[in-house]
Amino acid sequence: MKEKSYLGLLENLSFKVGCMYLSDLRYNENLYNIQHELRSIDPNIYSLKEWNDAVNYITGERYEFDNVNEALDFLISI
């Protein structure tokens, strides 16, 4: 059974990284901490739409992935 998170992916990352505002996730100086936190997240807790939205929000560019692992790998590798 999948564990359900009460926070969305972006909200969870923002909390774990220590951002005061969700928009702080867009700052390059937070990318290392975001990538670190992503390594400890079960990607299947969140929907593909949430992953695609997170990639688009964090990067400021439009991407569309076919599965959650692709989106996770992309965020960890940028």
Residues 8-12, mean pLDDT to the nearest whole number = 96
CA distance 31 to 58: 9
41 phi and psi angles, rounded to 5 deg: -95, 135
Q: Is the pLDDT of residue 6 over 90?
A: no
Q: What is the pLDDT at residue 2? A: 53
Q: What is the pLDDT of residues 25-61, one digit of tens each?
A: 999 999 999 999 999 999 999 999 999 999 999 999 9
Q: What is the pLDDT of residues 14-27, one digit of tens each?
A: 999 999 999 999 99
Nearest partner of 11 among 54, 44, 67, 72, judged by Cα: 54
From first CA to last CA, the distance across the chain in angstroms is 31
Q: What is the pTM for the complete model shown? A: 0.87
CA distance 57 to 27: 11
CA 26, 29, 33, 38 torsion-angle sign: positive
